[in-house]
Structure 1
Amino acid sequence: MTGFWNALPTEGRWLLSTVAIQTLGRGLTLPFTIIYLHEVRGFDLALSGALMSVIAITALAVTGPGGTLIDRYGARSVLLVGLTAMIAGCALLAFATHPAVAAVALVLMGVNFGVSWPGFNALIASVVDGEIRQQYFGVNFALVNLGIGVGGIIGGFYVDVDDPATFTTIFLADAASQLIPMALLLGPLRRVRTQGAGDEQADDAGAMSYRAILRRPAILWLTLLTFIAMFIGYGQMEAGFPAFARQVSGVSTQVVGFSFAVNTAVIVLLQFAVLRFISGHRRTRVMQVMALVWAASWLILGATGLLPGSLAAAIGVLAFMGVFAFGETMLQPTVPAMYNDLATDRNRGRVNAVNAAAFQGGAITGPIAAGLLLDQGWDAGYIATMVAGCVAIIVLAIALERHVSATANGVTEPSPSAAPAPAPATGTEAATGLTDPPTPR
């Protein structure tokens, strides 16, 4: 960790040192937003669920235009707009007593989520590169989980559904936490440039369109892989997994809640070790290992349905989250790093927007599929679908490896200039054309 920190440029240290504090505010509100809408503001559950979907739908809608604006005006300018929208949205939601007001607030928050993923990824990629970039994405992921996890714990102890003021406080705290990245963008990071040169950007406008980007086989395969990973991964964390754990495994809500704490703990504790393990290995191979780990986790969860309501089921649910988190530590350093190694400064915003759209698409369709399968009582079919998704990731990773360069795949190719030049032949060697073979190194 010391070597990694020393290798970072000053801008990278600024970005990384504040991640956990920035995301702590998000952790305060993330688990409790639907509780706030339904139990505190009195909106019925169906309406509350529909309002929650507004964030993801808005984020997906603005991701494409956001990526284009990032390439044209720079990530810094777009992120400042997104953060302003987030502050306004959180502050408005804190006092929302009518569904229409809450909807406007959630749209504003969705705007930020839509541009923050491609924006911050483009910013990171402009600051760090090479092997450090992969390590950075991994460490950043661990710190994001740490901030959200700690925020969730604090929020759980603080909020009280009988005291609306406690919920107002956490949403205002979430708004205040956005001032930290805003201060960084206006201060230490104000000179970081993510967009390409203006003339070159105009010349390549057609070649850098979303259609042209997705026609590149490496981007296309990686995007399909990302979508499926999100569909069977994060798309199940807020809907499919809790529903299966409650209805099929028969565990308590306390066990479900504690499983998320296990998830966070495993990521924070193992991310650094995993980064050292995967360093220098092909990212596509790491993705295949991740898929095998996730398949094992879904089989563990499926097995809990054989002993519903038992201690074994509770242990299995916790084990599922722990094993799943281990797979996450392999996903987050590899996929964003590969996207950015396949991008240039002239299309980095759009390439990261494609990544974000695949993530959001999987996160939206995953819960829908889970609801349809579990509502019909197809418990085994649900687990089988998740395992089949893991197999699909392995197949896509194999296909991706054929189209991606070794450098983008996380392997440093030896430079031809690094090979020692042969000594000039003299005497008999020159006459016969024979020389000794180079000594193996």
Structure 2
Amino acid sequence: MRRIQAGSALSAFGLGFTVPYLYVYVAQVRELGASTAGAVLAVFALAALMVLPFSGRAIDRRGPVPVLLVASVLASLGALGMGLSDSVPAVVASAAVLGAGTAVMQPALATMIVWGSTPATRTRSFAMQFFLQNLGLGVGGLIGGQLVDESRPGSFILLFSIESVMFLVLAAIVLTVRMPGSPALQDRRPGDRPAGGVRALLAHKAMVQLCVLGFVLFFACYGQFESGLAAYGTEAAGIEPSTLGIALAANTAVIVVAQFVVLKFVERRRRSRVIAAVGLIWALAWIVAGYAGLGQGSQAMATAAFISTYALFGLGEAMLSPTVAPLVADLAPEAMVGQYNSAFALVKQLALAVGPAVGGPMGAALHGPYIVTFVLFSLGITVLALRLGKRLTPVQDQPSLAVKPSRVVARHEPEPVKEPAAA
């Protein structure tokens, strides 16, 4: 588990070098325009939609390790190609390879965590992964912000090269991981044929509702980080491109500081209500972003408000990390963990495909409607989360309910064994 978490964090460190600057790189540094930047970011996510339907079954049949190795190499090639591209076809092709590789890495890593954990430790394992990934992402973004220079395309080549190397580092670490032998794998061997498939998943109403909720979550937050919110900040609020890295660092700082404090709170609460609270927090974040673009205060106040938006998003993310991913695992049958993780990753990538295409142009030109739209989407998260809670069993919604009964059973199991022996 330590190796899995370390590799995940280092790959996120590489992503942090480029994530805040993708829009600026394509639109301004390569001078391909805002519409092209939005289209390239959409292609990044669309490529994932092409591979994720097949990755889940491959993970369940072959195991997550070989799938993750292939994905890491693809992502490395895509990152390097992105840095060297100076035309629309080259950027689009590189984005497709990079998007496919990084997308498959998500369910593969998630399945490794599920296989290497127990229901009692799973919540904290996913929280730790999210904590380390965001730490790597934020540190990478902060360092990248000091290296980036819009007047020197070579500085961006350096950023993408570092990202490429980090994906290879992830592959090297994964090669040292030996998954068989873990008690969590006894009933989930890689060779076991998954039963049910897509039809069984679609018949699972709670999972379908969680996927709908997941789409809105990712569309209203992550789908805007790299496109709409960045465009809104630079165009409406007058934010400097280097400030985008500081905003991402603030997002990470909140996660780093709050993650395990929030975890103690979340573990004792119903998951559906925690997600509903996230919707309210994000609605506030979008309102603060709206203030940043009003132009009524000083530039310093606008910058502070914009950075605060990312910080509020970070608080919501810290609440989601020990909630959503473990819920996907708890809903999944043992032989379909990879398929459930891939299905949820597919929903995420669909949101990331639609998000930039919608948010990019709106954030750059339709400032007022952009903010109102995503305030409403955030409030929609609250409504959908409360509806999902009605579909979950008490233990699925609040796993802490199962802790005490399991301890009582464990204490009383030896007693019937000792009595016959004494007789």
- Choose the corresponding residue for 1:182, options 171, 174, 179: 171
Of 173-182 and 219-228, more deviation after overlay is shown by: 173-182
- Measured after TM superposition, the shift of residue 41 of structure 1 is 5.0
- Aligned-pair CA distance for 1:298: 2.0
**Corresponding residue to 1:334 among 323, 331, 334:** 323
- Distance change >3 Å, CA 320–CA 102, structure 1 → 2: closer
Q: 2:289 aligns with which of 297, 301, 318?
A: 301
Cα displacement string for residues 236-293 of structure 1 (whole angstroms, at most 9, x for unaligned residues): 2223323433444455555554322211211111112111221232111211121121
Q: 1:267 to 1:62 in 2, by over 3 A?
A: same
Higher deviation after alignment, 129-138 or 328-337: 129-138
Say if 1:88 and 1:366 are closer, same or farther in 2 by CA, change over 3 A: closer
Report the 3-state secondary structure (helix = DSSP H, G, I; strand = E; otherwise coil) of the residue aligned with 2:333.
Answer: coil
Query: How has the CA–CA distance of structure 1 residues 29 and 72 changed in structure 2, closer, same or farther, with 3 Å as cutoff?
Result: same
Aligned partner of 1:391 among 379, 389, 392: 379
- Structure-1 separation of matches of 2:197 and 2:21: 39
TM-score w.r.t. length of structure 1: 0.82
Equivalent in 55, 62, 65 of residue 76 of structure 1: 65
Deviates more, 1:88-97 or 1:355-364: 88-97
Aligned to 1:439: none
Matched residues, percent identical? 30
Cα shift readout 1:60-85 (whole Å, capped 9, x = no counterpart): 22111111211222111211111121
1:86 aligns with 2:78: no
Of 191-200 and 391-400, the range deviating more from structure 2 = 191-200
SS in structure 1 of the partner of residue 396 of structure 2: coil
Closer/same/farther in 2, CA of residues 177 and 66 from structure 1, 3 Å limit? same
Q: Work out the CA distance in 2 between the residues paired with 1:216 and 1:229.
A: 20
User: Does 2:216 match 1:228?
Assistant: yes
Distance of 1:384 and 1:164 partners within structure 2? 36
Distance 1:251 1:282, change over 3 A: same
Does the CA contact (< 8 Å) of 2:363 and 2:370 recur in 1?
yes
**Aligned AA (2:193):** Q
Q: Encode CA deviations 1:388-435: one digit per residue, 9 max, x unaligned.
A: 2233222222221222123322333253893899xxxxxxxxxxxxxx
Q: Which letter maps to 2:348?
A: F
Shift of 1:89: 2.2
Contact residue 126 and residue 194 of structure 1 kept, 8 A: no
Higher helix share: 2
Which amino acid in structure 2 is aligned with residue 346 of structure 1? A
Change (3 A) 1:401 1:23: same
Q: Distance in 2 between matches of 1:123 and 1:368?
A: 32
Q: Which structure 2 residues correspond to residues 145-294 of structure 1 after superposition, within 5 A? A: 145-189=134-178, 191=180, 196=188, 201=193, 204=195, 208-253=196-241, 255-294=243-282
Query: What pairs up with 1:310-321 in 2 under 5 angstroms?
Result: 310=298, 311-321=300-310
Cα gap change, 1:332 to 1:73, in 2 (>3 Å): same
TM-score, with length taken from structure 2? 0.85
CA contact (8 A) 1:282 1:411 kept: no
* Aligned equivalents of 2:226, 2:324: Cα separation in 1: 22
1:50 is aligned, of 36, 39, 64, to 39
Q: Which amino acid aligns with 2:254?
A: V
Residue ranges of structure 1 left out of the alignment (5+ in a row)? 1-11, 422-441
Shift of 1:31: 3.0
> Could you give the per-residue CA deviations for residues 355-376 of structure 1, whole angstroms, max 9, x where no partner exists?
1122122222223333565577
Query: Contact conserved, 1:249 with 1:308, CA < 8 A, in 2?
Result: no
- Computing the radius of gyration from Cα coordinates, the structure with the larger value is 1
User: 1:217 is matched by which residue type in structure 2?
Assistant: K
Question: Could you say what secondary structure the match of 2:393 adopts?
Answer: coil
Which one of the candidate residues 108, 117, 125 is aligned to 1:136?
Answer: 125
- Kindly indicate whether the alpha-carbon contact (under 8 Å) linking 1:184 and 1:190 is maintained by their aligned counterparts in 2: no
Greater mean alpha carbon deviation, residues 290-299 or residues 113-122 = 290-299
Mapped contact 1:262–1:321 kept (Cα < 8 A): yes
Structure 1: distance between partners of 2:269 and 2:229: 31
| 2:405 corresponding residue in structure 1 | 415
| 1:59 partnered with 2:48 | yes
Q: How has the CA–CA distance of structure 1 residues 231 and 186 changed in structure 2, closer, same or farther, with 3 Å as cutoff?
A: same
Kept after mapping to 2: 8 A contact 1:239/1:367: yes
Q: More displaced, 346-355 or 130-139?
A: 130-139
Which whole-Å CA distance do the structure 1 matches of 2:39 and 2:72 have between them? 24
Corresponding letter in the other structure for 1:341: D
In the alignment, what sits opposite 1:432?
none
Number of equivalenced pairs: 405
For 1:58 and 1:194, how far apart are their aligned partners in 2? 34
Residues 285, 310 of structure 2: 8 Å contact kept: yes
Quick one: distance in 2 between partners of 1:244 and 1:275?
32
Distance 1:257 1:417 in 2: 47
Using the TM superposition, give the Cα deviation of residue 163 of structure 1 relative to its aligned residue in structure 2, in angstroms.
4.6
1:75 touches 1:195 (CA, 8 Å); kept in 2?
no
The match for 1:364 is 353
Contact map agreement 1:72 1:195 (CA 8 A) in 2:
no
